[in-house]
Amino acid sequence: MADCIFCMIAKGEIPSTTVYEDETFKAVFDISPANKGHLLILPKAHAANVCELPEEMAAKVLPLAAKLGEALKKALGAEGFNLVVNTGEAAGQTVMHFHMHVIPRYKGDSPMVTWKPGAYEDGEAAKVAEKIVEALRA
Ligand code: 5GP
Ligand code: ZN
């Protein structure tokens, strides 16, 4: 994708602070970090989102994220880390090239993902679940 900023970063056409690279991925600093050391895992081949990521690449992302998260703990004293994959504009995805955020976290940090706890009406959960099961079968 010629005009994709993360393709350019992943290929090294735009400079970025890089902490990890292999033949498939690059892990770089997010330009506007939630905490210092906030990383983005970028596949070198363009995929718009997790649904378009080839399975063999997808299978490598989580082990890499765990390795990077452990490094953030060791190097920066992070007490935990968030793995975040926003998928679709409605979910907050702003760059349409798959990326996984690896965000170092400390006790007292504000929650990364929050929601107002909702509830189902009587029988509603089963109906919603059935729709999802049908979609999975299709
Ligand atoms: P999203 O909201 O799509 O999950 O996250 C996109 C992330 O990319 C944001 O956290 C944003 O700060 C980061 N970002 C946007 N443009 C650039 C850039 O040019 N370089 C780097 N390193 N990060 C970027
Ligand atoms: Zn791209």
Q: pLDDT (tens digit, 9 = 90+) per residue, 65-94?
A: 999 999 999 999 999 999 999 999 999 999
CA of 19 to the centre of ligand 1 (A): 16
Respond yes or no: is residue 99 known to be catalytic.
Answer: yes
Number of neighbouring beta carbons within 10 Å of residue 132: 9
> At residue 85, what is the residue type?
V
**Structural domains for the chain:** 5-137 (3.30.428.10)
Least confident of 11-15, 28-32, 119-123: 11-15
Q: Does 65 contact ligand 1 (Cβ within 6 A)?
A: no
CA atoms within 13 A on the CB side of 134: 6
Number of CB atoms found within 10 A of residue 122's CB = 6
Maximum distance among all alpha carbons in the chain?
Answer: 55
Q: Tell me the CA–centroid distance for residue 106 and ligand 2, in Å.
A: 31
Mean pLDDT computed over 45-66: 98
The overall average pLDDT reported for the chain is 97
The pLDDT score that the predictor gives to residue 2 is 81
Q: What is the pLDDT of residues 31-52, one digit of tens each?
A: 999 999 999 999 999 999 999 9
Q: From the CA of 85, give the closest atom in ligand 1.
A: 4
> How far is residue 46's CA from residue 98's CA, in Å, rounded to a whole number?
8
* Tokens read off for 68: 């990077």
